[in-house]
């Protein structure tokens, strides 16, 4: 019985072992045949295990200004790693891993902005957890090339670097809201705002990749089966922005920001003939190289809507002139206007008015009553609504920048139609105002604004796409545009007009002032107080054929008791306009001789000695400047034979030119000096010269850099006309139906 049971057990064991053997054999045959384990391809798994892949960096496209200056590009930065796995080192005598963690941490801490303990903890933790290598977070990222080289010089085993790109803006806060910024998102740089966002499809890069088979130490096999996917760099974007004009704007805005501490500043400069945006800026601003603390990402020139104030009157008057219902000599009673017997009247910013004045004078004084009468009694409210459409208000301009707002024409009730005529209630964006104003500057043609000039290949520079000037429409005729420029010119030049503070030294400026009230969220009406306004100006110059169109608004500046809101705005306008027109080589307007003053022919004194030349010219001209104390006369200016006025400045140039004392000179004379001696001239401020960087008597040579500061005569004093006229143009209540308006700066 026992023998029989033993025999049965042996048989069962034999069967079981046979089955196991057959299963294992079958499994081996299956694996050998299919190369798969539970759906995993062993050949593929082994291939991946011995294959190394790494990306080949590509470069995001550059951004240039219109003259080829680089405004944004990729700059290499470095990420640091520490290999902590001893298995990586083939030769113990020449380790490729971090052998002495404590010493390595001490060496790194002496260069990086961290402690040795923090670095030591990261490396030891990685080693204990069986990691191959560790990184050091923000401490080991975005390292400059100099820092990377300093660390490499210490020859620390196991410390390696990988290169990655970071977007860099060489001019810092320069046009930051327009350019926007791009940041690294998972190893890829992507545009977040501004041009960087808008032109992402052109600027973005595509990284390449290299794959090859390796051994356990990372070395290529003899037959590495290497594959390469080439990188594709982004395309280059060229803007219409002119770096020089943008710099003029940035500098002026910075100075006003520091001096007046306003809530905000918004400004833009355009070429009205083409629609090209030449400069654009905002305050507060930010540095796109350091985006940790940004107050406002949005570009207020295109994204911020507000009540425009009296700058809107440009289009009220233009509509009336175009419609043929305007008579500039017609008289009306200023002060208040009761447009509806059931409603309270609306007042001028000077509530008592100026008595009976004509409509031309009403524009110069910025009369709300004149604007309402034109719409209600001359044009008709519905006809005026049609012109608002024609000027493109309430619609986006289509500028090639992100987040453009459209504004809103508030035009349901008669009170809203009246207040819209002088810029209250209805909202606009600065770029809408500038676009509409191109029709006045450009003889009736309204041009579409744009900042993208062209896109070129980063490989060979070939043109990929190009923007051309585009006319939106012609809301007014050439004759109407010229009449408007004449009216706007008188705003700057006429006695007691609102824009006298904006007069330029060398060019005729046409423009319109604006002082718009600010909504009060607490009361539902408007804010009170002499500083709680948005002060603005729209200008174009030269008046006869404008080359530049400029808009500036300053919100809630901190003013001295003797200052009006025009002070900070006019500083920006005058500084940027004057310097930009000279930079563009626009010929200054010629001074007109008084009727009783005749011109004089410039004599030729180049063949005479210096003393004789000075004597002859001093007998005729009031201002004779000698460039050099001795030597021979080599040149004179103006050129011999030219007809000039006795009070014009003339120059005698010697063969040993030295710097003259330019105190009291005009900008025109400074630029004449620069042209005569081939100097690089930059001016700051307005008025007359009072400070120069090159001391009088210093030797001069071509391409020397001359900086001259200007100051207004009696600049600390404020004029009565600007106190009374510019002070408060639109001070009515929220409904536009209030009776009492107060002077902003009573004197």
The residues annotated as belonging to the active site are 310
Please tell me the distance from the alpha carbon of residue 47 to that of residue 212, in angstroms, as a whole number: 10
Please tell me the distance from the alpha carbon of residue 139 to that of residue 119, in angstroms, as a whole number: 9
Any residues with CB less than 8 A from the CB of 395 and at least 6 apart, and which? 406
Please tell me the distance from the alpha carbon of residue 668 to that of residue 665, in angstroms, as a whole number: 8
Torsion, Cα 149 153 155 161, to 10 degrees, reads 0
Torsion, Cα 690 694 697 699, to 10 degrees, reads -150
Q: Which of 303, 538, 550, 551 is nearest to 429 (CA)?
A: 303
Please tell me the distance from the alpha carbon of residue 304 to that of residue 516, in angstroms, as a whole number: 15
Scanning 335-393, the segments in alpha helix (DSSP H) are: 359-365, 368-373, 381-390
Any residues with CB less than 8 A from the CB of 71 and at least 6 apart, and which? 63, 64, 65, 169, 170, 171, 174, 175, 179, 239, 241, 243
The 3-state DSSP class for residue 376 equals helix
HSE, side-chain direction, 13 A CA sphere, residue 458 = 21
SS3 letters for 403-439?
A: CCCCCECCCCCHHHHHHHHCCCCCEECHHHHHHHHHH
**CB 301 within 8 Å of CB 278:** no
Residue 383 bridge partners (DSSP): none
Residue 82 bridge partners (DSSP): 134, 159
* Residue 515 Cα distances to 264, 307, 495, 586, angstroms: 15, 10, 19, 30
**CB 220 within 8 Å of CB 227:** no
Any residues with CB less than 8 A from the CB of 311 and at least 6 apart, and which? 423, 433, 512, 513, 514, 536, 537, 538, 551
Residue 80 bridge partners (DSSP): 161
* Residue 645 Cα distances to 101, 275, 641, angstroms: 83, 39, 13
């Amino acid at each position: 019985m026992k023998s029989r049971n033993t025999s049965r057990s042996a048989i069962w064991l034999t069967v079981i072992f046979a089955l196991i053997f057959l299963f294992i054999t079958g499994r081996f045959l299956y694996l050998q045949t299919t190369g798969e384990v539970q759906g995993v391809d062993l050949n593929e798994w082994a291939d991946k295990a011995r294959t190394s892949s790494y990306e080949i960096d590509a470069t995001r496209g550059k951004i240039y200004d219109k003259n080829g200056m680089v405004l944004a590009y990729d700059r290499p930065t470095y990420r640091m790693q520490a290999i902590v796995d001893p298995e990586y080192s083939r030769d113990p005598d020449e380790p490729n891993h971090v052998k002495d963690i404590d010493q390595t941490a001490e060496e790194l801490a002496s260069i990086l902005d961290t402690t040795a303990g923090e670095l030591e903890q990261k490396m030891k933790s990685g080693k204990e957890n069986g990691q191959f290598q560790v990184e050091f977070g923000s401490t080991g990222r975005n390292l400059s090339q100099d820092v990377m080289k300093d660390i490499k010089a210490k020859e620390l085993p196991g410390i390696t670097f990988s290169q990655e790109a970071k977007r860099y803006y060489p001019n810092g806060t320069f046009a930051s809201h327009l350019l926007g910024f791009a940041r690294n998102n998972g190893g890829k740089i992507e545009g977040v705002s501004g041009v960087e966002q808008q032109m992402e499809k052109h600027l973005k890069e595509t990284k390449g990749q290299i794959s090859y088979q390796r051994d356990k130490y990372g070395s290529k096999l003899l037959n590495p089966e290497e594959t390469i996917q080439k990188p594709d760099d982004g395309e280059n974007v060229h803007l219409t922005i002119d770096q020089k004009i943008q710099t003029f704007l940035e500098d002026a805005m910075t100075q006003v920001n520091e001096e007046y501490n306003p809530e905000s500043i918004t400004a833009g400069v355009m070429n009205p003939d083409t629609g090209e945006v030449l400069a654009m800026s905002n305050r507060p601003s930010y540095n796109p190289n350091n985006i940790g603390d940004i107050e406002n990402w949005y570009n207020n020139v295109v994204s911020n809507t507000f009540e425009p104030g009296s700058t809107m009157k440009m289009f009220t008057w233009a509509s009336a002139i175009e419609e043929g219902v305007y008579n500039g000599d017609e008289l009306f009673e200023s002060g208040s206007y009761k447009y509806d017997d059931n409603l309270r009247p609306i007042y001028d910013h000077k509530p008592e008015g100026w008595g009976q004045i004509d409509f031309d004078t009403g524009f110069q004084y910025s009369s709300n009553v004149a604007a309402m009468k034109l719409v209600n009694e001359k044009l008709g409210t519905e006809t005026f609504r049609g012109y608002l459409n024609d000027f493109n208000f309430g619609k986006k301009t289509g500028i090639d920048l992100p987040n453009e707002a459209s504004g809103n024409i508030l035009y349901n009730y008669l009170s809203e139609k009246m207040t819209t005529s002088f810029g209250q209630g209805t909202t606009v964006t600065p770029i809408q105002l500038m676009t509409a104003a191109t029709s006045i500057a450009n003889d009736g043609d309204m041009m579409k604004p744009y900042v993208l000039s062209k896109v070129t290949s980063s490989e060979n520079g070939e043109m990929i796409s190009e923007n051309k000037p585009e006319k939106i429409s012609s809301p007014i005729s050439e004759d109407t545009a010229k009449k408007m420029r004449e009216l706007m010119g008188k705003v700057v030049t006429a006695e007691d007009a609102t824009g006298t503070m904006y007069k330029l030294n060398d060019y005729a400026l046409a423009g319109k002032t604006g002082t718009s009230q600010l909504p009060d969220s607490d009361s539902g009406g408007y804010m009170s107080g002499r500083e709680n306004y948005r002060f603005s100006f729209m200008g174009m110059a030269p008046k006869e054929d404008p080359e530049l169109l400029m808009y500036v608004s300053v919100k809630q500046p901190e003013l001295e008791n003797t200052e009006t809101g025009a002070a900070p705005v006019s500083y920006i306008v005058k500084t940027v306009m004057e310097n930009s027109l000279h930079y563009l080589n626009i010929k200054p307007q010629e001074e007109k001789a008084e009727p009783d003053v005749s011109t004089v022919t410039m004599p030729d004194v180049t063949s005479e000695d210096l003393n004789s030349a000075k004597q002859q010219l001093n007998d005729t001209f009031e201002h004779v400047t000698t460039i050099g104390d001795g030597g021979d006369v080599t040149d004179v200016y103006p050129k011999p034979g030219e007809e000039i006025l006795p009070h014009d400045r003339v120059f005698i140039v010697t063969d040993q030119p030295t710097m003259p004392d330019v105190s009291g000179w005009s900008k025109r004379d400074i630029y004449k000096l620069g042209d005569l001696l081939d100097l690089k001239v930059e001016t700051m401020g307005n008025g007359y010269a009072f400070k120069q960087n090159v001391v009088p008597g210093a030797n001069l040579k071509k391409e020397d850099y001359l900086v001259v500061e200007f100051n207004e005569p009696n600049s600390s004093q404020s004029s009565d006309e600007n106190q009374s006229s510019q002070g408060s143009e639109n001070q009515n209540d929220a409904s536009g139906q209030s009776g009492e308006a107060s002077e902003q700066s009573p004197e």
